[in-house]
Amino acid sequence: MNSFQRLGLARLQNLSTFCLKKMDISIWFERTFSPVPDNGLLPGVLERLEGTPIRLEAKFKTIPPTLFTEKKKEKWSILEHLGHLDDLEPLWLGRVHDIIARKEILRPADLSNTKTHEANHNAADPNELLATFKQQRAQLVKAFRALSPADLLHVPLHPRLMKPMRAVDLAFFVAEHDDHHLAHMTRYMRNG
């Protein structure tokens, strides 16, 4: 092994040690997204999207209700994370409609999450939040599945990232957003 290879291996080992010691969840607004290379991946990504309500229902069966509204070190409680997912469903569906309408730039999100902060999700019934999310998510998946081949080829820009975002990229973005908030819920359950 030459010195260049040893240096690369040492850096990789340092990175691996860091990741194992500190498994932090990436800050959402610091994430970047590369284009999904193949529209043929969309059916698999839609399975992830369709499965999110099922994963949430399973997760909520294991969470003690006393943890639903606690925050401790978290920015949001478990119910607020769930409510936030629900709050964003109209945005995702609107972006699918933007693709169909051949918009050049997808509609922007409220980056301050005003709706989530003002909604008082901690006072909501978790079953109602789950039911609303499940219904809205079914509409979103149905809209993705109804896209035409021409819709799948349209390439608008994401308004914050200013990167191309086709339908498959948008679906992946939403699935990653789902998983980001599920990971926060899981971390809270483990550290709560």
pLDDT at 16: 44
User: For residues 179 and 115, is the Cβ–Cβ distance under 8 A?
Assistant: no
Q: Name which of 63, 81, 87 is nearest 25 in CA terms.
A: 81
Residue 181: how many other CB atoms lie within 10 Å:
21
**Type and span of the H or E element at 164:** none
Which domains are delineated in the chain?
A: 3-191 (1.20.120.450)
pLDDT at 22: 58
- Measured in whole angstroms, the distance separating CA 115 from the mean position of its chain's CA atoms is 17
Residues in the chain: 192
Residue with tokens 């819709």: 151
pLDDT at 72: 72
| Whole-number Cα distances in Å, 186 to 73, 78, 148 | 14, 9, 37
pLDDT at 136: 98
* Beta-ladder partners of 164: 157
Tens digit of pLDDT at every position of the chain (192 positions): 655 455 455 554 554 444 444 578 898 889 999 999 999 999 999 999 999 999 999 999 998 898 899 987 768 999 999 999 999 999 999 999 999 999 999 999 999 999 999 999 999 999 999 999 999 999 999 999 999 999 999 999 999 999 999 999 999 999 999 999 999 999 888 875
CA gap 78, 72 in Å, rounded: 11
Q: What are phi and psi for residue 105, nearest 5 degrees?
A: -130, 135
CA gap 114, 140 in Å, rounded: 22
